[in-house]
Amino acid sequence: MNKVTFMPVHSLKPAEKAKTHTHTSYEAQQSFSSVLKQSIEKINEAQIQSDVMTEKLARGENIDLHQVMITSQKASITMQAALEVRNKVIEAYQEAMRMQV
């Protein structure tokens, strides 16, 4: 049977020091707001694309019905996911507000 030996943590030497960057409150807010803005823009793009495809189908243009349905479902699922994330964020905020300090 093979014997397993463990090295003490203090004897391990990192190959290079890990670079850590601490973000200021302002940087964190800017990062969060940019991610939120990009996500909302993607949701909007999916909705617009679905609308365009549906209009083309309604006008009788040469477009496949299954492509219209796929685009519509993608937009719907994207919106549902965004709403669920929003609901979870609100729940987390409400829970944090109920905490006693």
Q: Confirm whether 43 is domain-assigned.
A: yes
Residue 1 lies in a domain: no
In a domain, 54, yes or no: yes
pTM recorded for the entire structure: 0.66
- pLDDT recorded at residue 6: 46
pLDDT tier at 22, thresholds 50, 70, 90? confident
pLDDT at residue 88 greater than cutoff 90? yes
Q: Which two tokens stand for residue 69?
A: 């349905």
Nearest to 54 by CA among 43, 63, 45: 63
Q: What is the pLDDT of residue 8?
A: 53
Q: How far is CA 61 from CA 45, 52, 54, 57, in A?
A: 21, 11, 10, 6
Q: Is residue 42 part of a domain?
A: yes
For residue 95, pLDDT over 50 is answered with yes
Which tokens sit at 5?
């030996």
Domain that holds residue 61: 26-98
Our count of domains for the chain comes to: 1
Q: How far apart are the first and last CA of the chain?
A: 54
pLDDT, one tens digit per residue, over 33-60 is 899 899 999 999 999 999 999 999 999 9
Q: What is the pLDDT of residue 86?
A: 93
